[in-house]
Structure 1
Amino acid sequence: MKNKTEIVNIFTRKTLGLTLVLSAAALAFAQEKAGVSGTIVNKKNQPVPYASVTFSNKTNKVLSDAVLTDEKGQYKLQLMPGDYDITVEAIDYKKNVVSKKIAAAGNIGALSIEAEPTSTADGKTNEIQGVVITAAATKPYKVELDKKTYDPSQDIVSKGGSLQDVLTNVPSVSVDTDGTVSMRGSTNVKFLINGKPSALLGIDDGANALQSIPADQIERIEVITNPSSKFEASGTSGILNIILKKSKKVGFNGSVVGSLGYFPRTSLNTNLSWRKNNWTWFVNGGGGYTENKTKNNSETTYHNIIFPEILANKQPNDVLEHQLQNSTSKTYNKNYNVSAGFVYDLSDKTSINLTGLVRTFEGDGDELLETYESFHRFFKDPSNPSGTAGTWQLLNPYGQRDSKSVFNNLAFQGDLGIDHKFDDNGQNLSVSLSLQRNRSNNNANILETNDLLPDVQDITRRHSVSKTIIGKADYELPLGEKSKLEAGYRLDVNDNTYDNFVSSTSNNPYIPNYNNNTDYREIFNAFYLQFKSKIGEKFAYQVGLRDELSNVKINYINQNPNDPVIDKTKNYNNLFPSVFLSYDISKN
């Protein structure tokens, strides 16, 4: 078990000298938010409804927040303790800025704002030509015809976190304590990176893969609960398309975000880009370390014990009197990722891009469960084992279950793409090629010992390799101001290998000793065509058709001679129509 000094050393190596940055982040996150409320009134002490109240933290802008007052001029929000500049703005009123120190939860009282000399707030009526209101977007969620888009850059909670942290705040998406993602009550969710499957998300290590993608590298998340013809018809509960950042700002740009938690939980992520003339270069990288420890104790004592009736030819169950269980567990996870690439503008309308990435994560877990029991067991008379004579004896056995697990995952991916704009009206062609490889190892060892039973050991080994080639071509053609035609083609070549081994010394018939190897290969061709348009200002529709041709080959070999070898090839050709209808009931 690592001591505190070892944990500090691990963190020091990961942060690469950015101790001051992470210390500031740790100080910010270590504090609890306080519930703050108040009221906005005018000079006549009348409430001002729908006023904008902005709390700007003087030392850390990330901790700033804003809120609108309700119809009674009241507001509530959660803030970190600190010194704030409070800016109050409302139509027909002068802007007012005051400074306050937020030390604890509570009501900070009423803040007064003064009406403009020519406003209607003082009871006079004045005619104006128009009002333009400019404000920062308060909702990072946008609803479109066939998808919903979430912008994590406006989510302060996920700063310094991972993709898993971001998904906990995305509407229509649920993430449980184990990191399992579900949509509409189903965990059968399809993940895409930049519109296609990615080695970033692993094979069967979904929760750990989500933690290995930093939130600061995500531009937006597209939530697609009813996929259109543009996406594969995989029969999932929905699609989450993760769009990663690719900066095109002129000059050199970069950001470094770090976090430090108690368990410990540390992360450090960097986004760098450089643009000059027709070249844009970018490098994104980061890593994280998490460690969790748990300890549980339970004790049960049974009173007024009643012994069962002894029947001939039957052994009665043991009668439990006392049970004490102590469990301790410790897990750790490490993840690192780096991606680099460039975008080169061949002309004002054509660009080529190349990206390479490497992602790895690993971890282990150790859990020990100790059980102390006291129970009565009936021992029959050896001279008449089928009779009812015998005695009850008190036994005090000790048992333990020691579980150890180790996993690691390594992924590579290379992407090449060409984008061409035919005109400035939205007629575009995008062609891309992606090569991916993912390797995963999961090992588990469980040893159970008991004073009254023979030792039982279960060993599980799982090794998997996935190789993928994805080719895509997408074309968009606007037809007037309200319509658009889209067409495309996609090729997927997937080659997956799974090696499984399970061994158990128990007599449980549901855990036999077996060792199997599975090779799964799929060649997938898809064509799609879809049309979207609007009728008037409120009604919109989209219709599409997708044709999928699949060639699937599976080879399964089990070393158990009683299990037959499976070697089959299947071909499929399916059509998938789609229709989307939307009606905007009210702009308000």
Structure 2
Amino acid sequence: MRLKYALLAAVAVLSPALVQAQTAPAPPKAPAKDAPTAVEGVTITSDSTAMRTSIDRRSYSVANDLSAKTGSIADALRNIPSVEVDVQGNVSLRGDANVTIMIDGKPSGMFSGDNKADALQSLPADQIDRVEVMTNPSAAYRPDGSAGIINLITKKTQKPGVNGTARLNVGPYGRYNGGVSATRREGKLTLSGDAGYRRDTQKGVQEIDRATLDKASGQFLPGRFDTDQDNRGGALTLRGGADYDLDKQNRISGEVRLRRFDFDSDLFESYTGRNALGGVSRAYTRTTDADITRDNKAISADWRRQMKGADHTLTAHLEHEITDFSRDSNALLRNSPGGDVYEALSFGQDQTRTNLKVDYSKPLPDDVKLKTGFDIEWSSNDYDNRGETGASPNALAVDPSRTNRFIYDQDVYAAYVTYERPFGDFTVQGGLRAEQVQIDTNQLTSGQKNQNDYFRLYPTLHMGYTLSQSQTLNANYSRRVQRPNAQDLNPYEIYIDPYNYRAGNPNLKPQVTDSYELGWQYRKGQAYYLATAYFRDTRDSVTDLVVDRGGGVLLTTRENLGKSRAGGLELVANGRLSPKLTYNVSGNLFWNEIDAGNLGFSGNRSGTALSGRANLNWQATPKDFFQLNAFTSGKRLTPQGYREPFKMLNLGYRRKVNDKLSLVVTAQDVLDSFEDVSVTDTPTLRDRARRSANVRSVFFGFSYAFGGGKPRPEQFDFSAGGPG
């Protein structure tokens, strides 16, 4: 019944839009003045990382980020304030890894669940125009992701006629990437398309020193894991789109996307465990060959109606997306003591997602802005694990411990409203989002079924105050949620190796976070400064829990903690040191506290961390551009231990040959210092894991623009970022 009421309310609010539709469009809106306001924000276009702020987001241009020209999306995100990306491609926002990744304001199955890190490291960044960071989005956006939203805005042409760009970059170890983008604008019709391919080779090393408590002797028994991994493969991306203006008020759009990843992986693992006397108690080696494929296909349709009055619009979006993932591997396990074991493992995931979204925006008297809409998503996930083992490749039999099938269905029905009103120099935007969620899980192998339906309200509040022509204050609040991933709810124990298993928890609750921010902005000339204090109060925090099963065997599962809190102070500065030298620096002092009572500790655990990044850009001549960027992340508290600091330094150079041709050289991880070290330290387990990859590289590339037509003035438009 609640669902029906929510949808009826949304329809009732939206209905006036159809009644008030007019035949004449609004006159063009006058250009905004250069002075900042609490809502519209300011734009710094002279800096290499041009930043603009609005009432609920910060937007960073990556147009002059040379890492984005030759690297992956993960490489580009490493240069964005507030964002951190580790060696494995895991993204965090102000120290919180629960981040939602969107493309042009819309979710994608490519960036959900365990796929997120691989996709960010595989997809090229050269089609990204800017990155929006929303730590407290308005109610117009989904509340998923306790840290907030990272919205990737793709490039769009500003020129009439036929225009395009061809690009190619070549690096070491057989790495290369390239692509073509083209647009044709003729009258009412605009056609656009992209085709790209990225070939990559990744060599990774993992070293784990582990000691588990032997209850009989009271001693910690040591063990050593070593892993060498070699991945080779490519990522193909294809996109085609069309926009057609039916008349001056109505535009319809359609888009088709295909992304395919295909990698071969060679893996060699070794383990040596010792007893209380220091002798070898168990050892094994494992050689694995795997084929990994991920296909993502999507089709979408959009309708936009411009009504009488500025910013008076009605939009509708319908999308259907299919993501298929498979990993097939063959392995030889040599045990000592014990005989050889041959393994044939297969994992498959099929995900379908359908989204219907309608947004209505209407300006009201006294500069009031009303936005409302509804958002419905149906998603289904089918996970199929199959494992066979035997003494020889011809004697394989199904292994029940590695074979299971799990189905996860989630439907979300949401309606929202935001209301924004100025009071002189003071502006307030309030919002409320209502969601009905229906979740059904079915572990077919064990016959375990679970159902979880719940109704939640997610309020938001944004306030801004203009102190002067150059200074503004803002404060905001939002309630966020981190829903468990499908695999987080799968109770079946999944075999990783003889000493590591993983299982989900069907009783997990959604993690709910109340997020608060207070900020100050200052702009004078080409200098821009930003200071933000933030605080997050989380209940039912979801985290990994490592359980010692005895004999050196560990089970990693997921649990809800009681509570956790986090806060910090973030500083950002952009400016010009000289007519040819610009800078962008940021720092984040982060504190978090964890209720560790369920993790083998007594009471709470807390810690602080400091991270920072710097970008220096030198326009040596009108045709020569040099860039240096670096970042560092300090020691970070985790639920059962900590992560050690990591850092990276990158260099870049661009030569503008003429108006159409540019040459680029980038050097990544110049100091060869980028690695990830995590430590687990509990009363029964001591574990230190070091992970590194061949990130250090030099790329040579070029970009060639073709086509004609007088370019339109470049605009920094938020409309592509979604409804907020």
Map 1:29-48 onto structure 2 (within 5 A): none
SS at match of 2:286: strand
Q: Note if 1:406 corresponds to 2:288.
A: no
Of the candidates 56, 64, 68, which is equivalent to residue 154 of structure 1? Answer: 64
Q: Which amino acid aligns with 2:73?
A: L
Map 1:89-238 onto structure 2 (within 5 A): 136-201=46-111, 204-238=114-148
Map 1:414-429 onto structure 2 (within 5 A): 414-423=299-308, 425-429=310-314
| Stretches (4+) displaced over 4 A | 294-298, 314-317, 323-328, 369-373, 375-378, 394-399, 456-460, 502-506
1:459, CA displacement in angstroms?
A: 5.3
Q: Decide whether the 8 Å contact of 2:422 with 2:428 is kept in 1.
A: yes
For structure 2, the 5+ residue unaligned runs are 1-43, 209-215, 392-398, 472-521, 524-724
Q: Decide whether the 8 Å contact of 1:504 with 1:513 is kept in 2.
A: no
* Distance of 1:520 and 1:398 partners within structure 2: 38
Map 1:307-318 onto structure 2 (within 5 A): none
> Using a 3 Å threshold, how does the CA distance of structure 1 residues 532 and 396 change in structure 2: closer, same or farther?
closer
In structure 2, the partner of 1:263 is 173
SS at match of 1:227: coil
Of the candidates 519, 537, 540, which is equivalent to residue 407 of structure 2? Answer: 519
SS at match of 2:142: coil
Q: Decide whether the 8 Å contact of 1:152 with 1:215 is kept in 2.
A: no
SS at match of 1:153: coil
Cα shift readout 1:210-247 (whole Å, capped 9, x = no counterpart)? 23433222232221112321122235321112222333
In structure 2, the partner of 1:73 is none
> Using a 3 Å threshold, how does the CA distance of structure 1 residues 584 and 171 change in structure 2: closer, same or farther?
farther
Q: Decide whether the 8 Å contact of 2:99 with 2:145 is kept in 1.
A: no
Q: Decide whether the 8 Å contact of 1:140 with 1:154 is kept in 2.
A: no
* Distance of 1:202 and 1:376 partners within structure 2: 42
1:395, CA displacement in angstroms?
A: 9.3
Cα shift readout 1:153-174 (whole Å, capped 9, x = no counterpart)? 1323311322212111111111
1:187, CA displacement in angstroms?
A: 1.8
In structure 2, the partner of 1:18 is none
Cα shift readout 1:291-319 (whole Å, capped 9, x = no counterpart)? 13468999xxxxxxxxxxxxxxx9999x9
> Using a 3 Å threshold, how does the CA distance of structure 1 residues 327 and 211 change in structure 2: closer, same or farther?
closer
> Using a 3 Å threshold, how does the CA distance of structure 1 residues 419 and 466 change in structure 2: closer, same or farther?
same
Q: Give the RMSD, CA atoms, in angstroms.
A: 3.7
In structure 2, the partner of 1:291 is 201
* Distance of 1:409 and 1:530 partners within structure 2: 38
In structure 1, the partner of 2:347 is 462
Structure ID, larger Rg: 1
* Distance of 2:322 and 2:218 partners within structure 1: 57
In structure 2, the partner of 1:488 is 373
Q: Decide whether the 8 Å contact of 1:212 with 1:336 is kept in 2.
A: no
Compare 184-193 and 195-204 and name the one that shifted more.
195-204
1:369, CA displacement in angstroms?
A: 4.7
* Distance of 1:225 and 1:530 partners within structure 2: 17
Cα shift readout 1:391-422 (whole Å, capped 9, x = no counterpart)? x9x99999633233331100110010011111
Q: Note if 1:556 corresponds to 2:437.
A: no
In structure 1, the partner of 2:716 is none
Give the TM-score, by structure 1 length: 0.63
In structure 1, the partner of 2:356 is 471
> Using a 3 Å threshold, how does the CA distance of structure 1 residues 220 and 557 change in structure 2: closer, same or farther?
same
SS at match of 1:210: helix
Q: Which amino acid aligns with 2:401?
A: N
* Distance of 1:496 and 1:253 partners within structure 2: 40
1:376, CA displacement in angstroms?
A: 11
* Distance of 2:145 and 2:225 partners within structure 1: 44
1:202, CA displacement in angstroms?
A: 6.0
Q: Decide whether the 8 Å contact of 1:409 with 1:441 is kept in 2.
A: yes
Give the TM-score, by structure 2 length: 0.52
Task: Specify which structure has the higher proportion of strand.
Answer: 2
In structure 1, the partner of 2:159 is 249
Q: Note if 1:541 corresponds to 2:428.
A: yes
> Using a 3 Å threshold, how does the CA distance of structure 1 residues 480 and 466 change in structure 2: closer, same or farther?
same
Q: Decide whether the 8 Å contact of 1:360 with 1:409 is kept in 2.
A: yes
Q: Decide whether the 8 Å contact of 1:212 with 1:337 is kept in 2.
A: no
Of the candidates 216, 226, 249, which is equivalent to residue 349 of structure 1? Answer: 249
> Using a 3 Å threshold, how does the CA distance of structure 1 residues 376 and 223 change in structure 2: closer, same or farther?
closer
> Using a 3 Å threshold, how does the CA distance of structure 1 residues 465 and 370 change in structure 2: closer, same or farther?
closer
Q: Note if 1:437 corresponds to 2:322.
A: yes
1:517, CA displacement in angstroms?
A: 1.7
Higher relative contact order (CA 8 A, sep 6+): 2
Identity %: 26
For structure 1, the 5+ residue unaligned runs are 1-133, 299-313, 379-391
In structure 2, the partner of 1:38 is none
1:482, CA displacement in angstroms?
A: 4.3
Paired residues, number: 414
Q: Which amino acid aligns with 1:523?
A: D
* Distance of 1:269 and 1:344 partners within structure 2: 26
SS at match of 1:216: coil
SS at match of 2:176: strand
Q: Decide whether the 8 Å contact of 2:123 with 2:198 is kept in 1.
A: no
1:183, CA displacement in angstroms?
A: 1.3
* Distance of 1:158 and 1:175 partners within structure 2: 14
Q: Which amino acid aligns with 2:460?
A: S
1:484, CA displacement in angstroms?
A: 1.5
> Using a 3 Å threshold, how does the CA distance of structure 1 residues 376 and 188 change in structure 2: closer, same or farther?
closer
* Distance of 1:476 and 1:297 partners within structure 2: 54
1:135, CA displacement in angstroms?
A: 7.1
In structure 2, the partner of 1:80 is none
